[in-house]
Amino acid sequence: MLLFNVFCGNQAASFSAVFPVASHLAMHIPDGFLSLPVSLATWLIAIALIAICLNKVQGDYQERAVPLMGVCAAFIFAAQMINFPIPGGTSGHLLGGTLAGVLLGPWAGSLVMTVVFIVQAVLFQDGGITVLGANIFNMGLVGTFGGYFVYETIRKALGWNSWRGIGTGTAIASWVSVFVASLLCAVQLALSGTIALPIALSAMASWHVMIGIGEAVITTIAIGYVYRTRPDLLYKPPRSTTVAKTPVPR
Amino acid sequence: MLLHIGGFRLDTESDRNTPWHQLIPRTRVLCAFLLVFAIALTPNGQWLTWAVYGLAVAAIAVISQVRLLDLIKRVAVEFLFVGLVLLGTLFRSGGEVVWQWGILRITTEGLTVLGSVSLKMLLCLTMLNILVLTTSISNLLHALKELRVPKLLVAILFSMHRYIQVLVDEINCMKKAAQSRNLFAQARGKRLVIGNIMGSLFIRTLERGEQIHQAMLARGYTGLPPVLDPPLSQARDRRALAIVLILVLSGQIFHWQLRSTFN
């Protein structure tokens, strides 16, 4: 599961490290890795995000919010447990930010991801409590919210109702969101003085290029499955399918 | 991840009767979070501060009578999982060079950061594990609600907690079905099957969500599951909070006093 990446960076101070990185770290920073200012700033942003998401979701789903968001969070949680082979020889697991965004929309998607992080941090000590704000910022705001808007832009450009638009958007958005989230994580670690910036950046970037490809492949296949079988369940479903096909009876 | 999920019962030590267990859940959560925040946000290199906090955590471990072996096992698994990443903190510039081999060099500052970060992580993990081992999940979530976490968020957390095991079972079941049909033979096919499993799991999830909603309405659901006689804060809760606060402050004061006497 852990992969040893070797980097021989020739930076100003001539760093070099045999730097073992788990796919885990980028997405779940543990307690003690971030300094007070970084924690505080990311917490403030995260709290604002949660407040807006809660309001939006309450408005959109009304009383269905609780059961629906609950099972969807459990769905992401379960989906993160499956390991799959990543092109390049190792295996990784889904992070699910863009998947949640494309299926549920930016607000509900971010809320679901936030709930998953809270449960992982509080109940399973998977990611710290003091750095929960940073984890929500990286993967909830940037990974899900940002990922959704990348997807929406590409979908608009390539064809709103076609698989070409949806599929390409999903693939690119999931790779970009994972990659950018990992870079942000590296910057936060460096700002806190925990890991030097060149080491953190190079380690995170090189490892998450591959993780991102795995994420993109799996997310696109999953969205493709939903597109083929129940396109009406996608957030902002393609028009042709919602009118032409009747939903599968329950 | 989830190496210790087991039957999804985390509070294996919640049925004791110790001074720690007599505190209401809200106080326990507050004490634990106060300590964790104080430990994790103390700047690198304040060893004396962590000595005080370490004693506090050890005291809570002793008072709460958690089985030490269980505690150590859980902390060890979680620590090893991220522990390897810590090595990255070692190689950095600044301070004196202690050891050099080719372009690999270890400096005093690198050692300070490595020591500080691993100590902080270890103490935080121990404290949080004691909390989770001694407090049931529903008590934890109710405590969060009393600490002004939005009601809707706590309600969603509750409903997620109920369905984690259901969905984990379902996804394992689908995986087994795929395996028994030999669909995982090649890496490429495996990715395709897993992607499809996730897609179909999402559709089932939404349908299940609708069913749950109907069932909840039929049973008169109003928001949060009810708590039987909510525990009230007592004198001992206030005492415990005061002690933790004093410890948190004294840890910082010790550090600054020692520093001023040496300078």
Which pLDDT value is given to residue A208? 86
Which pLDDT value is given to residue B225? 61
In a domain, B53, yes or no: yes
Look at residue B38 and tell me whether its pLDDT is greater than 60. yes
In a domain, B6, yes or no: no
In a domain, A46, yes or no: yes
Task: Give whole-number Cα distances, B135 to A236, B20, B198, B232, in Å.
Answer: 42, 10, 33, 16
In a domain, B111, yes or no: yes
B73 with B179, same domain: the answer is: no
Least confident segment among A138-142, A241-245, B47-51, B132-136: A241-245
B33 with B128, same domain: the answer is: yes
Does A32 touch chain B if contact means CB atoms closer than 8 Å? Answer: yes
Which pLDDT value is given to residue B113? 85
In a domain, B223, yes or no: no
Q: Which two tokens mark A24?
A: 């885990």
B204 with B245, same domain: the answer is: no
B126 with B72, same domain: the answer is: yes
What average pLDDT does chain B have? 83
In a domain, A23, yes or no: no
In a domain, B1, yes or no: no
- Write out pLDDT tens, residues A70-108: 999 999 998 888 888 777 767 778 888 999 999 999 999
Q: If residue B67 lies in a helix (H) or strand (E), which one and from where to where?
A: none
B118 with B240, same domain: the answer is: yes
In this structure, are residues B12 and B69 in contact, taking their beta carbons and an 8 Å threshold? no
The one-letter code for the residue type at A6 is V
In a domain, B14, yes or no: no
In a domain, A245, yes or no: no
DSSP β-ladder status, A17-21 and A3-7:
antiparallel
Does A186 touch chain B if contact means CB atoms closer than 8 Å? Answer: no
B158 with B248, same domain: the answer is: no
Q: What is the CATH number of the domain that holds A194?
A: 1.10.1760.20
Least confident segment among A223-227, B55-59, B186-190, B233-237: B186-190
B residues 56-115 closer than 8 Å to A (CB)? 74, 78, 81-82, 84-85, 87-93, 102-104, 113
Which pLDDT value is given to residue B84? 62
- pLDDT-based confidence at A16, cuts 50/70/90? very low
B133 with B250, same domain: the answer is: yes
B residues 234-263 closer than 8 Å to A (CB)? none
Total domains present in chain A: 1
Which pLDDT value is given to residue A147? 92
In this structure, are residues B33 and B135 in contact, taking their beta carbons and an 8 Å threshold? no
Mean of pLDDT values over A4-19: 27
In a domain, A56, yes or no: yes
Choose the most confident range, by mean pLDDT, from A40-49, A195-204, B146-155.
A40-49
Look at residue A241 and tell me whether its pLDDT is greater than 60. no
**Residue A165: which domain range?**
29-236
In a domain, A215, yes or no: yes
In a domain, A13, yes or no: no
Number of A to B CB contacts under 8 A, please give it: 276
Look at residue A24 and tell me whether its pLDDT is greater than 60. no
Q: What distance in Å separates the CA atoms of residue A80 and residue B28, rounded to the nearest whole number?
A: 30
Which pLDDT value is given to residue A154? 95
**Residue B237: which domain range?**
19-147+232-262
In a domain, B225, yes or no: no
B67 with B138, same domain: the answer is: yes
% of chain A with per-residue pLDDT over 70: 84
- Write out pLDDT tens, residues A124-177: 888 889 999 999 999 888 889 999 999 999 999 998 888 999 999 999 999 999
CA distance A120 to chain B (A): 9
In this structure, are residues A99 and A223 in contact, taking their beta carbons and an 8 Å threshold? yes
In a domain, A106, yes or no: yes
Is residue A3 helix, strand or coil? strand
Which pLDDT value is given to residue B5? 46
Closest chain B CA to residue A227: B199
Mean of pLDDT values over B124-144: 89
The one-letter code for the residue type at A115 is V
In a domain, A9, yes or no: no
What DSSP character marks residue A84? Answer: E
In a domain, B226, yes or no: no
Total domains present in chain B: 2
The partner residue sitting opposite B167, judged by closest CB among A28, A57, A75, is: A75
% of chain A with per-residue pLDDT over 90: 43
Chain B contacts of A94, Cβ < 8 Å? 198
